[in-house]
């Protein structure tokens, strides 16, 4: 059974993440405008550094559930957001556990997120919404539409992981030294 202090911490982090996700503080990724940068993952990454993967995973799942209720582009948006956060925090945690290195943690976090989201996006586009690619050729005509979406989505996920990881790690490092 989860103790009261941990429960309070996880619910506070989920609430903070949900508020940050739902506030109109998003920036559209100009190359694929359906993707948006946000800071809603920062509290969950902080929780992983502070308290470990279990609480971070619980917070990620709870945030995904809340996005099913209050988010946009349901069910695809919340599922992909959940997969992105979970993959990112697993990589961040593994890097801290194995090497205690922010650099290794960031690289693993980013790599796992990009691999997971590339796979999810490929399956989604190829098998569930193949007509989605029809709007791309007029914007991106230097490669096949599926390759363009996968490459640009990977680039987006690298940038989003920087936005999520760096402030969370910096806050945790500062918090740890006080």
- Band (pLDDT 50/70/90 cuts) for residue 1 is very low
Q: What is the pLDDT of residue 14?
A: 97
For the chain, what percent of residues have pLDDT higher than 90? 72
Cα–Cα distance between 81 and 44 in angstroms, integer?
13
- Whether the pLDDT of residue 139 is over 70: the answer is no
The CA R_g of the chain, rounded to the nearest whole Å, is 17
20 in Cβ contact with 40 (< 8 Å): yes
Q: What is the pLDDT of residue 98?
A: 87
98 in Cβ contact with 69 (< 8 Å): no
pLDDT per position as a tens digit, 56-77: 999 999 999 999 999 888 999 9
Question: Residue 160 is part of which domain span?
Answer: 4-20+40-177
Cα–Cα distance between 83 and 168 in angstroms, integer?
19
Cβ neighbors of 178 (< 8 A, separation 6 or more) are none
- Residue 27 is assigned to a structural domain of this protein: no
pLDDT average, residue stretch 35-54: 96
- Residue 53 is assigned to a structural domain of this protein: yes
Q: What is the pLDDT of residue 133?
A: 74
pLDDT per position as a tens digit, 23-44: 988 999 998 888 999 999 999 9
- Band (pLDDT 50/70/90 cuts) for residue 146 is confident
Cα–Cα distance between 25 and 31 in angstroms, integer?
19
pTM: 0.92
- Residue 94 is assigned to a structural domain of this protein: yes
Beta-carbon neighbour count of residue 11 at 10 Å?
13
- Whether the pLDDT of residue 93 is over 80: the answer is yes
Cα–Cα distance between 82 and 64 in angstroms, integer?
5
Q: What's the number of domains the chain is made of? A: 1
CATH code of residue 149: 1.10.1760.20
pLDDT average, residue stretch 152-163: 97
- Residue 64 is assigned to a structural domain of this protein: yes
Angle at 106 between CA 68 and CA 113, to 5 degrees: 40
Tokens of 178: 């006080």
Cα–Cα distance between 129 and 105 in angstroms, integer?
34
């Amino acid at each position: 059974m989860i103790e009261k202090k941990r429960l309070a911490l996880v619910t506070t982090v989920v609430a903070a993440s949900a508020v940050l996700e739902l506030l109109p503080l998003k920036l559209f990724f100009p190359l694929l405008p359906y993707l948006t940068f946000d800071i809603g993952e920062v509290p969950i990454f902080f929780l992983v550094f502070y308290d470990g993967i279990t609480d971070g995973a619980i917070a990620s799942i709870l945030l995904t559930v809340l996005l099913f209720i209050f988010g946009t582009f349901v069910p695809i948006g919340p599922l992909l957001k959940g997969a992105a956060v979970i993959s990112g925090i697993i990589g961040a945690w593994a890097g801290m556990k194995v090497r205690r290195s922010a650099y290794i943690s960031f690289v693993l976090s980013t790599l796992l997120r990009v691999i997971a989201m590339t796979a999810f996006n490929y399956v989604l586009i190829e098998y569930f919404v193949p007509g989605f690619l029809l709007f791309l050729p007029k914007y991106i005509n230097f490669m096949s539409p599926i390759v363009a979406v996968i490459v640009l989505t990977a680039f987006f996920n690298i940038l989003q992981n920087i936005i999520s990881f760096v402030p969370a790690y910096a806050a945790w490092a500062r918090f740890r030294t006080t």
